[in-house]
Structure 1
Amino acid sequence: MKAVVVAIVAGLAIMMMEPMQATIDCEKLKLALSPCLQYLTGITTDPSPACCNGMETLKSSTPTQDDRRAACQCLKDAAAQFPIREDRAKALPQSCGVEVGVPISKDIKCNE
């Protein structure tokens, strides 16, 4: 019995030491943040409520550093297809009142 308990504890310790894999659904994030494109490209002066809801989805979907890195790369790749205004990207979290934990910029290095 003691050997079984030791084996279980050792197995749990090994699992805890392994890095967690990011579980980001890139398509879901892009869809959630698509309402922000009008603001980010300068078509509208303020982000829409749907955009700010997308920012909340981003925040709740990225609890770990690995999740934030994966989301960063996903959204950076998606944003490269549009003429995103840098000033709007940086202002978006504050405009929505949502702290996402990382700066939003087209020049961000997602692995840092």
Structure 2
Amino acid sequence: NTQPNHISSKPQLHHKTHNYCIILSSLLEFSLSLRMEIVSKIACIVLLCMVVVAPHAEALTCGQVISSLTSCLPYLRNQGPLGGCCSGVKGLLGQAQTTADRQTACTCLKSAASSFTGLDLGKAASLPSTCGVNIPYKISPSTDCSKVQ
């Protein structure tokens, strides 16, 4: 019982076409997952670059604190008017944005209050209110700067 050639070739052709479709479908799925993985990795790299390149806020230094308040020395020594002192106080307040910065400023001011000779400590303590700003600690050699928030 022999079948004609054209009848037996149809199932083979259909079978081959079906196999090609499965292979092509698998390749497309693989390609899609590969593309998604690559896009995901690129997104992670871009995010990492943004974090690394982002400007970091510089920590406040004692030099900056003292420099901001140098114009206050004549006033605090009873040798001159308030002058530009308040702009320095306000500038310092603007620079000390974090708890660490405020504690650094406090420590520097505490040290300066102890080391600069001839300072009127009463004027130093009232300097923030005199300049119309609110500093969350007293400028004094006895201030506990670790409690400054």
Fold conserved (TM > 0.5)? Answer: yes
SS in 1 for 2:146: coil
RMSD in angstroms over aligned alpha carbons? 2.5
How many angstroms apart in 2 are the aligned matches of 1:27 and 1:75? Answer: 11
Residue by residue over 1:12-37, the C-alpha shift from the partner in whole angstroms, topping out at 9 and shown as x without a partner, is: xxxxxxxxx98112212211101111
Tell me by how many angstroms 1:101 deviates: 2.2
What does residue 84 of structure 1 align with?
A: 119
Asked if 1:41 is matched to 2:77, the reply is yes
Question: Conserved in 2, the CA contact under 8 Å of 1:47 and 1:95?
Answer: no
- Partner amino acid, structure 1, of 2:134: E
The structure whose Rg is larger is: 2
Change over 3 Å in CA distance of 1:87–1:78 after alignment to 2: closer
SS in 1 for 2:67: helix
Q: Which runs of 5+ in 1 are unaligned?
A: 5-20
Question: Conserved in 2, the CA contact under 8 Å of 1:33 and 1:55?
Answer: yes
Query: Percent of pairs identical after alignment?
Result: 33
What does residue 73 of structure 1 align with?
A: 107
Residue by residue over 1:42-93, the C-alpha shift from the partner in whole angstroms, topping out at 9 and shown as x without a partner, is: 223x422x21011011111111222111111122222322222121012111
Higher RCO structure (Cα 8 Å, ≥6 apart): 1
Relative to the length of structure 2, the TM-score reads 0.55
Relative to the length of structure 1, the TM-score reads 0.70
Question: Conserved in 2, the CA contact under 8 Å of 1:90 and 1:104?
Answer: yes
Q: Which runs of 5+ in 2 are unaligned?
A: 1-36, 42-56
Q: Determine which of 105, 109, 112 is the counterpart of 2:140.
A: 105
Asked if 1:30 is matched to 2:59, the reply is no
Question: Conserved in 2, the CA contact under 8 Å of 1:41 and 1:85?
Answer: yes
SS in 1 for 2:145: coil
Larger helix proportion, structure 1 or 2? 2
- Between the two proteins, the alignment pairs up a number of residues equal to 96
